[in-house]
Amino acid sequence: MQDHYKKFDLTDKVALITGASEGIGRDIAIGLSEAGVDIIICSRREEKLLEVKEIAEKTGRKVQTYAIDIQNVSEIEGLKAFIKAKTGKVDILINNAGYAVTKPAWDVCENDWDTMVDTGFKGLFFCCQAIGSIMRENGYGKIINLSSTFSQSIVPGRSVYAGIKAGIDHLTEALAMEWAPHGIRVNGLAPTAVNTPSRQVTLQGPILEKVLARIPLGRLATPGDLIGAVIYLSSEASDFVTGQTLFVDGGWVAAS
Ligand SMILES: NC(=O)c1ccc[n+]([C@@H]2O[C@H](COP(=O)([O-])OP(=O)(O)OC[C@H]3O[C@@H](n4cnc5c(N)ncnc54)[C@H](OP(=O)(O)O)[C@@H]3O)[C@@H](O)[C@H]2O)c1
């Protein structure tokens, strides 16, 4: 017997999660600490990170916070230096931080564009580069980039966001190819709508009904749906998987 399930074990791994102060990133951070992982959580709001730290530390794992605006590459370099000084390694990078504006394409202004692209695409790339270089020194690592069903489908008002997410899927493939020789696996995770605090404003009434009607399994995604997928993509169980985007979407894309 080979005990294949042991390949899912993440005990004593170190993970960095961006955008961990609320929403999906917060839940993934807590979920990973419950799975035995020491975590480094970052976003701009230190006070929110400290709330997440207090919860995650109840698992007995180490939790470190780092305040950063990932739109600035110099701050990402600062994060890299912090990690090298504190843990010396990162096994798992969850590139979760993102920013979404919902507006007709006619009304998107330069500031909307810059904030979405600099957070969701530029910031994500330079986090891959900075943290990937630490993984390269260790010859192993798992990067998970948060994509979305909108990388392959469309609703009105999400043009720039959809373009960024499609770009992330292809960037994931490109980095997977370049970094496979260094043992770094790069994959994407694409949820359908998740009822996070930032989405609760829009996911109501007729909009919610329309979204649910597009999901064959008939409900929104939950943090638990995503954490199971994160554990798989972070663990040895997925060591032969790279350059893929896993859609955790209740069938949304298949039905589109
Ligand atoms: N919720 C959904 O329905 C859904 C569906 C598909 C995909 N996604 C993707 O999943 C990810 C998380 O979504 P979410 O709904 O959980 O988002 P959210 O609730 O808006 O949280 C975004 C997180 O990113 C951080 N962040 C934003 N700008 C940042 C910056 N410049 N530098 C550092 N951190 C920054 C925020 O913290 P601070 O404000 O403290 O910086 C926050 O922790 C995103 O990539 C999103 O596109 C979400």
pLDDT (tens, 9 = 90+) of the chain, 256 residues, equals 678 899 999 999 999 999 999 999 999 999 999 999 999 999 999 999 999 999 999 999 999 999 999 999 999 999 999 999 999 999 999 999 999 999 999 999 999 999 999 999 999 999 999 999 999 999 999 999 999 999 999 999 999 999 999 999 999 999 999 999 999 999 999 999 998 888 888 888 999 999 999 999 999 999 889 999 999 999 999 999 999 999 999 999 999 8
pLDDT of residue 64: 98
Distance between CA atoms of 106 and 129, rounded to whole angstroms?
Answer: 34
* pLDDT value of position 199: 83
149 in Cβ contact with 247 (< 8 Å):
yes
Burial (CB count <10 Å: 0-12, 13-18, 19+), residue 174: exposed
> 10-192+227-247, superfamily in CATH?
NAD(P)-binding Rossmann-like Domain (3.40.50.720)
At residue 217, the pLDDT reads: 97
- pLDDT, position 121: 98
If one residue of 28, 40, 44 were mutated to test the ligand 1 pocket, choosing by the most ligand atoms within 8 A of its CB, it would be 44
Ligand 1 mean position to 236 CA, how many Å?
27
Kindly list the distances between the CA atom of residue 193 and the CA atoms of 32, 105, 128, 188, 247, in Å, as whole numbers in the listed order.
21, 21, 25, 16, 12
Q: What is the pLDDT at residue 198?
A: 82
Protein residue with its CA nearest to atom 13 in ligand 1:
24
In the three-class reduction of DSSP (H, G, I as helix; E, B as strand; rest coil), residue 38 is classed as strand
Listed in sequence order, the residues at least 6 apart from 162 whose beta carbon sits closer than 8 Å to its beta carbon are: 148, 150, 151, 153, 154
What is the reported pLDDT for 1?
65
Nearest to 78 by CA among 136, 119, 142, 130: 130
- What are the pocket residues of ligand 1 if the criterion is a CB atom closer than 6 Å to any ligand atom? 18-25, 43-45, 48, 68-71, 96-100, 119, 146, 148, 191, 193-194, 196-199
